[in-house]
């Protein structure tokens, strides 16, 4: 795997960790809680950055 592949894999792992945190927060606080929305925005930003490359 080249360096770009390693970086993309790391970013995908970051997104998955954020997704897990978001799901846990939604289970605890509800879907409209600011923490859930924060995680959702972070996932969107990382996903968009990954697609731009």
Written as tens digits, the pLDDT of the chain (53 aa) is 566 666 677 889 999 999 999 999 999 999 999 999 999 999 999 999 988 87
Domains in the chain, number = 1
Is residue 5 in a domain?
no
What dihedral angle (degrees, nearest 10) is formed by the CA atoms of 47, 48, 52, 53? -20
User: Residue 44 falls within a domain, yes or no?
Assistant: yes
Residue 2 lies in a domain: no
Query: What range defines the domain where residue 43 resides?
Result: 13-52
Looking at residue 6, its pLDDT comes to 65
pLDDT of residue 2: 61
What pLDDT sits at residue 7?
66
- 9 CB-near residues (< 8 Å, 6+ apart): 1
Q: Quick one: pLDDT at residue 3?
A: 61
Q: What is the pTM of this model?
A: 0.82
Phi, psi of 32 (to 5 degrees): -95, 5
The pLDDT value given to residue 20: 98
Look at residue 29 and tell me if it is in a domain: yes
In a domain, residue 1? The reply is no
Q: Report which DSSP code applies to 53.
A: -
CA distance 8 to 30: 31
């Amino acid at each position: 795997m080249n360096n770009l592949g390693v970086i993309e894999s790391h970013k995908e792992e970051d997104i998955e960790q954020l997704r897990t945190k978001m799901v846990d927060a939604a289970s605890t606080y509800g879907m409209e809680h600011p923490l859930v929305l924060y995680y959702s925005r972070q996932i969107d930003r990382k996903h968009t950055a990954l697609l731009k490359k």
